[in-house]
């Protein structure tokens, strides 16, 4: 091997290690998995995790990263020993992390690597993660995202990349998630997902009203629509019947106030009457979500509820009922314990609020 080729190989391997860190920081699991050979292995004995092949590395990355609230990784150059079309090396890294369930800490670690030259360039044949120092003391700092997101951005559609991140995180959390072009596509998809004759409760949602889904379910005659039945019952004498009807339908079809890129759904309500079905009372759930409702994290989701959704809902409630709205109940769905029960239809367009 000539000196020029050796230098080129070292530069490419160093770039490969930098690409790994960038893919991890950007939560781009497909890109991270593609940095390995098809039979590549990622071993993390301290966790413990052993992932073999790109599909396992992708799925394992989705499970791991869906738990993060904050994650920062800095990789420093180490050694590279070339041997023709293979190489070995070490990379040194510092990481700090906070998970959504409150675990946090700082660590220093080493990646023990094997590399292989492929038609697509150098790839990892194996990465073995070894922790050398771990400090689980509470982190003193915080991500500045909660104040960096202006309220005006809550009406702007998320980018395709952010939609993909949200969909991937939702799937890792047990939800079914689909990305559709627009409300018209969602209208068709709801008809495919909800069988004829099912008892269906719709939420009080501008997204459903504007898309025509509310009309399809409640006036089309295809379903056993719960909402018209509830509206026909005297609230003074039939409160118990109403409560039972809305708590456990076959399907609930609704929207949400926000969906996070970490895979959580946030619903807000003044009365709380529609929340039990969404939380688990309904056998199945379908949520239709406009692209403007995607936010980075839970703290930003709560800001979106208070600063964006509530003022708009307040105007609607004043016009419809003559009383102001309020966020008296909040429901946060961080995961779906029964995979397949809940389907999130993420739209590329903005609709509702």
Rounded to an integer, what distance in angstroms lies between the CA atom of residue 112 and that of residue 239?
65
Contacts of 282 (CB under 8 A, 6+ apart): 201, 248, 249, 250, 251, 252
83 forms bridges with which residues in the sheet? 86
Q: Kindly report the CA angle at 294 between 163 and 303, in degrees rounded to 5?
A: 160
The gap from C-alpha 185 to its chain's centroid, in whole angstroms, comes to 21
pLDDT digits (tens, 9 = 90+) for 254-275: 999 999 999 999 999 988 888 9
Alpha-carbon span 285 to 102, nearest angstrom: 28
Residue linked to tokens 């920081």: 25
Joined together, the tokens standing for residue 63 give: 């499970």
Tell me, yes or no, if the pTM score tops 0.85: no
Instruction: Report pLDDT for 40.
Output: 96
CATH architecture of 3-135: Roll (3.10)
**Average pLDDT of the chain?**
91
Buried (b) or exposed (e) across 180-217, using 16+ Cβ within 10 A? beebebbbebbbebbeeebbbbbbbbbbbbebebbebb
- Asked if residue 134 has pLDDT above 90, the reply is yes
Q: Residue 25 and residue 94: Cα distance in Å, rounded? A: 13
Q: Which residue has the tokens 């990465």?
A: 127
Strands 176-180, 104-118: parallel, antiparallel or unpaired by DSSP? Answer: unpaired
Distance spanning both ends of the chain, measured CA to CA? 62
* Share of the chain residues as helix, strand and coil, in percent rounded to the nearest 5: 40, 35, 30
- pLDDT band, very low/low/confident/very high, at 16 (cuts 50, 70, 90): very high
Cα 143 off chain centre by: 18
What are the tens digits of pLDDT across the range 54-92?
A: 999 998 887 777 777 788 999 998 999 999 999 999 999
How many CA atoms are closer than 13 Å to the CA of 94, on its beta-carbon side?
A: 3
Q: How far apart are CA 142 and CA 350, in angstroms?
A: 30
Domain range annotation of the chain: 3-135, 145-347
Per DSSP bridges, beta strands 36-44 and 121-135 are parallel
Class of domain 145-347: alpha beta
Please write the tens of the pLDDT for every residue from 188-236. 999 999 999 999 999 989 999 999 999 999 998 999 999 999 999 988 8
pLDDT in tens, 146-197: 445 565 589 999 999 999 999 999 999 999 999 999 999 999 999 999 999 9
């Amino acid at each position: 091997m000539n000196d020029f080729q050796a230098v080129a190989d070292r530069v490419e391997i160093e770039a490969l290690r930098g690409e790994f860190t960038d893919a991890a920081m950007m939560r781009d699991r497909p890109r991270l998995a593609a940095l390995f050979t098809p039979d590549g292995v990622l071993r993390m004995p301290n966790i413990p995790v052993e992932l073999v092949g790109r599909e396992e590395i992708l799925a394992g990355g989705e499970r791991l990263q869906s738990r993060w609230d904050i994650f920062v990784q800095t990789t420093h150059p180490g050694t590279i020993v070339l041997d023709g079309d293979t190489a070995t090396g070490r990379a040194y890294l510092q990481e700090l992390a906070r998970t959504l369930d409150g675990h946090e800490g700082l660590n220093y670690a080493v990646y023990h690597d094997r590399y292989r030259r492929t038609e697509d360039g150098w790839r990892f044949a194996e990465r073995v993660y070894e922790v050398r120092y771990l400090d689980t003391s509470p982190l003193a700092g915080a991500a500045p995202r909660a104040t960096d997101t202006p309220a005006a951005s809550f009406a702007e559609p998320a980018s395709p990349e952010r939609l993909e991140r949200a969909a991937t995180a939702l799937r890792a959390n047990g939800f079914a998630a689909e990305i559709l072009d627009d409300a018209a596509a969602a209208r068709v998809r709801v008809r495919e997902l909800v069988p004829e004759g099912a008892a269906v409760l719709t939420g009080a949602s501008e997204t459903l009203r504007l898309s025509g889904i509310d009309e399809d379910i409640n006036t089309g005659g295809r379903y056993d629509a719960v909402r018209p039945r509830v509206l026909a019952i005297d609230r003074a004498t039939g409160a118990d019947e109403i409560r039972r009807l809305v708590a456990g339908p076959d399907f609930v079809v609704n929207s949400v106030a926000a969906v996070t890129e970490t895979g959580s759904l946030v619903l807000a309500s003044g009365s709380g009457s529609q929340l039990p079905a969404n939380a688990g009372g309904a056998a199945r759930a379908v949520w239709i979500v406009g692209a403007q409702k995607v936010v980075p994290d839970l703290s930003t989701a709560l800001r979106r509820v208070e600063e964006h959704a509530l003022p708009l809902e307040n105007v609607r409630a004043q016009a419809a009922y003559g009383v102001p709205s309020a966020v008296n109940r909040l429901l946060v769905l961080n995961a779906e314990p029964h995979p397949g029960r809940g389907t999130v239809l993420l739209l590329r367009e903005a609709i509702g609020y």
